[in-house]
């Protein structure tokens, strides 16, 4: 029963990792950009949640109503103001600029909030649980997983059923021709980053509710998100959710063997999948 419990907790944890990954996946899909600062932006969102909850005393979940639009605006501004200038055939500028951004964000947060770990508190929600036979499921992990499924469904719908998604795919296919059709790729990229950071905002708040965070937490979140993307297969959002679940399960099972092994066993699961199936478990079908 303990193992089944670990499996279920890991699956629910995977929802959070899928949320870390979804923004990364979206950005890569639309503009082939790998954002090294992605994890730090998740942590930034958690801090914004902290500021909102302590300033106006609302529940962290409600704080999303402010943090999501804020991160959306930050995303658009960041893309138009900085990241668009790095895009081109050369790999180095986007990597190094987002790396620089990561260092700036981390130290900016350190300057503003100190290195002390923080947590978003939601007294009722953190401890609430429902019993399923002998297994007790936390309401927060359940809620997180539900939100992850909803977000991924929403992204999938946006991508394949709306004119914005059509524009995303067109720009991703061929930037020049998309531009000829009247799509301003700089604006489209801005919108893609805005959407990615909206998802990041949700991820950041849920992260802050689940565990404590500090300015240096970003790197780890980037890696978890990245591992979920690669495990699931590039370009497949449902695959990303599956990748997050696999990573989460590997971590909870590792932690069950030895608490020190939690994160390490997640990395090992990732490396094993990379060794035996480098294209990921569910790569996007071609054509």
Choose which of 181, 211, 212, 257 interacts with other proteins (CB under 8 A).
181
Q: Which of residues 93-122 bind other proteins (CB under 8 A)?
A: 93-97, 99-104, 106-108, 110-111
Pick the stretch among 29-37, 43-51, 140-148, 193-201 that binds other proteins (CB under 8 A).
29-37
| CB of residue 181 to other proteins, shortest distance in Å | 5
- Site membership for other proteins, residue 287 (CB under 8 A): yes
Question: Is 257 near other proteins (CB under 8 A)?
Answer: no
- Which of 139, 169, 281, 283 is close enough to bind other proteins by CB under 8 A? 169
Position 80 contacts other proteins (CB under 8 A): no
Asked if 267 is part of the footprint of other proteins (rule: CB under 8 A), the reply reads: yes
The CB-of-131 to other proteins minimum distance in angstroms stands at 34
What long-range pairs does 266-271 form, CB within 8 A, spacing at least 24?
Answer: 266/224, 266/227, 267/223, 267/227, 269/231, 270/227, 270/230, 270/231
CB of 103 to other proteins, least distance (A): 4
- Sole window of 61-69, 72-80, 181-189, 238-246 interacting with other proteins (rule: CB under 8 A): 181-189
CA distances from 175 to 77, 168, 169, 180, 208 (A): 20, 10, 10, 9, 37
CA 169 to chain centroid, in Å, comes to: 20
In Å, how far are 58, 86, 163, 190, 218 from 78, measured between CA atoms? 28, 12, 23, 8, 18
Q: How far is CA 81 from CA 75, 107, 189, 242, in A?
A: 10, 21, 11, 34
| Binding of other proteins by 85 (CB under 8 A) | yes
Q: Is residue 3 part of the contact set for other proteins (CB under 8 A)?
A: no
Q: Which stretches does DSSP call E strand in 104-214? A: 129-132, 135-138
264 binds other proteins (CB under 8 A): yes
CB atoms within 10 A of CB 121: 14
Total count of residues recorded for the chain: 287
- For other proteins, the closer CB: 79 or 106: 106
207 touches 42 (CB < 8 A): yes
Residue nearer to other proteins on the CB measure, 9 or 35:
35
What are 125-131's contacts with CB under 8 Å, separation 24+?
A: 125/59, 125/61, 125/209, 126/209
Q: Which residues bind other proteins (CB under 8 A)?
A: 32-34, 36, 82, 85-86, 91-97, 99-104, 106-108, 110-111, 163, 166-167, 169-170, 172-174, 176-185, 219-220, 222-223, 226-227, 230, 260-261, 263-264, 267-268, 270-271, 274-275, 278, 287
């Amino acid at each position: 029963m303990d193992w089944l419990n670990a499996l279920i907790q890991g699956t629910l944890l995977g929802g959070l990792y899928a949320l870390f990954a979804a923004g990364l996946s979206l950005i890569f899909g639309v503009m082939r950009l790998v954002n090294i600062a992605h994890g730090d932006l998740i942590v930034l969102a958690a801090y914004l949640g902290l500021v909102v909850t302590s300033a106006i005393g609302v529940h962290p979940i409600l704080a999303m109503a402010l943090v999501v639009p804020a991160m959306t605006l930050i995303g658009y501004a960041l893309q138009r103001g900085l990241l668009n200038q790095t895009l081109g055939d050369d790999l180095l500028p986007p990597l190094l600029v987002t790396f620089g951004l990561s260092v700036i964000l981390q130290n900016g947060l350190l300057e503003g909030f100190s290195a002390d770990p923080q947590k978003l508190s939601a007294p009722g929600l953190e401890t609430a649980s429902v019993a399923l036979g002998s297994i007790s499921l936390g309401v927060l992990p359940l809620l997180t997983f539900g939100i992850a499924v909803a977000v991924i469904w929403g992204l999938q719908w946006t991508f394949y059923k709306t004119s914005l998604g059509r524009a995303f795919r067109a720009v991703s296919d061929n930037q020049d021709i998309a531009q000829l059709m009247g799509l301003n790729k700089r604006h489209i990229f801005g919108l893609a980053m805005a959407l990615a950071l909206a998802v990041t905002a949700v991820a950041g708040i849920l992260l802050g509710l689940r565990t404590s965070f500090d300015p240096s937490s970003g790197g780890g979140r980037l890696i978890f998100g990245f591992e979920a993307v690669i495990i699931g297969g590039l370009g497949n959002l449902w695959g990303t959710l599956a990748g997050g679940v696999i990573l989460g399960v590997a971590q909870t099972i590792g932690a069950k063997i030895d608490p020190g092994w939690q994160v390490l066993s997640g990395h090992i699961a990732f490396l094993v999948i990379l060794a035996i199936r480098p294209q990921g478990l569910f790569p996007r079908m071609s054509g």
